[in-house]
A and B are shown apart, each in its own frame.
Chain A
Amino acid sequence: MRGISKDLIFNDVDSKQYLNLLSALPLFRVERGILTLLYSERSEKILNAIHSRYGLWSDVTLQFTNPSDIAKQLKEKESVDAVILLEERLAGFLLSKMQAGYTSKMDIINYLKIAQETLQEMQGKWFHVEPLEFWTQNVLALVGKAQNLLNSLPDGLSLLVVFSGDEIWTSLLAQKTKGKLTRITTISIPEIQRLRISDWRSEYKQILEQVKEKFGKVSFGLFMDSETFKFLLRSNRPQEFLQKARREEQIIINPTPTLFTFRM
């Protein structure tokens, strides 16, 4: 099975570069206003509510109707980014499905996919999100994107470098062996860290050389600036976005692996 090796090595990671990467992921934008409600289908009550910024939230005075309608009304009324409604039995159901679906060959992404599929199955029944895109494009999409990205990477070394101003904003170097991810790091090589970038479109080759010297030949290299990277992460159609960006020279792919199909 493809995925992540149990013996994955994750070291020599530059914390600043790594935190930049995390901060770009939608999941880690913690300042969003999300209202989460627990409701009981049996007693037709909202049992509890919590606001992601303000904590326990006792102002839910809506008449209990259809949970989807409640989600829509609250989204409008409270001006929050998203409203999530969970039926009281959902958590237990979800966890039992995940544990029942576990096999010893699963990596964490495959395991989370069981949760993803269960939540999709329960969407509109015990699980309601308004707007739906909040879920599909953020939390839900992240698992799918991570798996697609993992599957897309060729064996060998893959390198992502994102530039901002005259420095490397974030980078990732991933080693894949026999279809499994075996190592993750950033390119914290002193020679590279000392580089002052004036034109990354030409200077990226120096980085490739340094990486080759320390880690070996790169099979797939992807270079871009931080703005393009953030657009890419938010894109619904990353493959098309990448193709267009490549045509417009907003990104550089070098080397390009054979039979490369990049899906996110």
Chain B
Amino acid sequence: MQWTSEAIPDEHHLYRRVHANDFRPSGELNPGAFREDRMSCDWCKYRTPKETQRGGPQDPRKYAVGKLKVGKVREIPNQQVQHTPDASGNNRAHTDVVGKKKDPEIRLRFFKIFCEVIPLSSEG
């Protein structure tokens, strides 16, 4: 199945899987959770948070899921939202947030707009 890349509206959300190691023992998220220059997310149009949680390389119980509002992501400097459907992974929702993440300002801004929707330890 081939899917074309679509424009994602500002008011939509991206779901982002976050690994258990990105949380402190207290349950608080680390700003380092937003570290990949091509940060994989799922567009809410084609996936649910549960599907995103199950879509990782490890046991779903090792992941929490949060959402990022697309318009807010686009307000972060030098970050682009690119819908990149993944045919081999059968994931039409796949979306990359492209841009350098090492800059502390960038990661703090992702940290502030991230909203958890599936906490850690919820069964996938």
A-B complex is real: no
A contact residues vs B (CB 8 Å cutoff): none
